[in-house]
A and B are shown apart, each in its own frame.
Chain A
Amino acid sequence: MTKHASNEPFFWILFSAGGMMAAIFIPIHLFLFGVAFPLTWLKAPSYDQLMSLARLPLVRVYLFVLCSLPLFHWAHRFRYTLYDGLKVKHLNELIFALCYGGAAVGMIIAAYLLWNIG
């Protein structure tokens, strides 16, 4: 445990930033694409509309952050939920690797997809 004594602030910063990002930006995205468009409460944007948005550099950076920071928020929170909720703290190296590793994989996928979105 002590080798993480000085690294914990780094993960906590990611957790906090991801949590704030998720809190402010995710609900509306999820509402639009997950509920409003499928239920046709609002008209979904056409391919051309959405693609012209998605090609903008600023939008791609935004989407990258939107798909990365919240993953690290999940990683940190889920790691502690496994420690406390399932009392598996003895597996902490494995949990650490799966959680932050998973988040890192997601971030890399996001970077790859957004780098040349088309």
Chain B
Amino acid sequence: MADKIVLEIARYSPESDHEPHFESYEVPVRREWVVLDALNHIKDTVDGSLTYRWSCRMGICGSCGMMVNGEPKLTCATFLSSYARNGNKVRVEPLRYFPIVRDLVTELGGFVSKLKKAKPWLIRSDERPLSQGEYLQTPEQLDRYKQFSMCINCTLCYAACPVVGLDPIFIGPAALALAQRYNMDSRDQGSAERTAVLAHPDGVWGCTFVGECTRVCPKHVDPAGAIQQYKIAAVIDWLKSFVTPRGRDARHVSNQAAND
């Protein structure tokens, strides 16, 4: 295995650049190094102006997502050795389909507001007083949504989803998967409230099941599966709305919310 590897890193300085360009850095290859280690090495010893996000360096905070050779990856979980072995260069770019603030840092405000639309918190129509104790849940009830709860908001799925790139208003995989996570939580009573916003052409119906989000997710959340399950739930809600008077009102609320 080579003892050095070249990283081609996208640089963008808003003060002086109109668009990003690539700069090459040669970095030593240590057997246990990941791409994040290489970036830290460059920032420490070569070019202190290199700007990127990172935190836990162990795949749980979701900060260090970047495009590595065209694939969305957590750079703390992507080993240099697999690229060095093949004699490849490593091309590092900011996550696709987001505005770029500087170098490898993406603007996440849009993502955060989309996440908020999914209301990823427990919604109760009847709050129980503390004196009644905790909401109890069996292991089976937990199992129903646990996979979707593993999301670390790293936005790799947004970088993988072509619909996110083509339709900036599309809510996106993580937000929809998290909405489904709460819809399937036995303690939650808010699925009607979420559906009002999400059963919408730029919500759940914008998804065409490309499946890339699931392929790149580092926590195996399977957002594509969550979204298809949400579609089926939305269809059942829609069919019910023709039968039940409450459902009819929900449909009017949904049209109202969609118009807002």
Chains A and B in contact, CB within 8 Å = yes
Contact of B208 among A4, A13, A84 (CB under 8 A): A84
Is the CB of B259 closer than 8 A to any CB of chain A?
yes
- Answer whether A5 and B231 are a contact pair too, CB < 8 Å, given A80-B208, A84-B163, A89-B167: no
Determine whether the beta carbon of A87 is less than 8 Å from that of B166.
yes
Chain A residues in 8 Å Cβ range of B163: 84
Is the CB of B46 closer than 8 A to any CB of chain A?
no
Give the distance to chain B from A55, nearest Cβ to Cβ, in Å.
36
CA distance A83 to B207 in the complex (A): 12
Give the distance to chain A from B169, nearest Cβ to Cβ, in Å.
9
Determine whether the beta carbon of B231 is less than 8 Å from that of A2.
no
CA distance A10 to B239 in the complex (A): 9
CA distance A2 to B255 in the complex (A): 7
Chain B residues in 8 Å Cβ range of A87: 166
Is the CB of A62 closer than 8 A to any CB of chain B?
no
CA distance A89 to B167 in the complex (A): 9
Is the CB of B162 closer than 8 A to any CB of chain A?
yes
Contact of A5 among B167, B241, B258 (CB under 8 A): B258
Is the CB of B142 closer than 8 A to any CB of chain A?
no
Contact of B238 among A2, A4, A6 (CB under 8 A): A6
- CB interface residues, B 227-259, toward A, < 8 Å: 231, 234-235, 238-239, 241, 251, 254-255, 258-259
Query: Smallest CB-CB separation from A81: which chain B residue?
Result: B208
Determine whether the beta carbon of A9 is less than 8 Å from that of B235.
yes
Query: Smallest CB-CB separation from A13: which chain B residue?
Result: B235
CA distance A1 to B238 in the complex (A): 17
Determine whether the beta carbon of B201 is less than 8 Å from that of A5.
yes
Is the CB of B118 closer than 8 A to any CB of chain A?
no
Chain B residues in 8 Å Cβ range of A89: 166-167
- CB interface residues, B 123-166, toward A, < 8 Å: 162-163, 166
Chain B residues in 8 Å Cβ range of A1: 200-202
- Total count of chain A residues near the partner, CB < 8 A: 15
CA distance A83 to B208 in the complex (A): 11
Determine whether the beta carbon of B208 is less than 8 Å from that of A5.
no
Contact of A9 among B166, B238, B255, B258 (CB under 8 A): B238
CA distance A89 to B201 in the complex (A): 12
Is the CB of A8 closer than 8 A to any CB of chain B?
yes
Give the distance to chain B from A29, nearest Cβ to Cβ, in Å.
25
Chain B residues in 8 Å Cβ range of A8: 199, 201, 205
Determine whether the beta carbon of A2 is less than 8 Å from that of B166.
no
CA distance A2 to B203 in the complex (A): 11
- CB interface residues, A 1-53, toward B, < 8 Å: 1-2, 4-6, 8-10, 12-13
CA distance A89 to B258 in the complex (A): 19
State the 3 A-B residue pairs at the shortest beta-carbon distance, nearest first.
Answer: A9-B238, A5-B258, A8-B205
| Apart from A9-B199, A12-B231, 6 more pairs, CB < 8 Å | A2-B255, A4-B201, A6-B199, A6-B238, A10-B238, A89-B167
Binding site for B on A (CB under 8 A): 1-2, 4-6, 8-10, 12-13, 80, 83-84, 87, 89
27 contacts between A and B (CB under 8 A): A1-B200, A1-B202, A2-B200, A2-B255, A2-B258, A2-B259, A5-B199, A5-B200, A5-B201, A5-B254, A5-B255, A5-B258, A6-B238, A6-B241, A6-B251, A6-B255, A8-B199, A8-B201, A9-B199, A9-B238, A12-B205, A12-B231, A12-B235, A80-B208, A84-B163, A84-B166, A84-B208
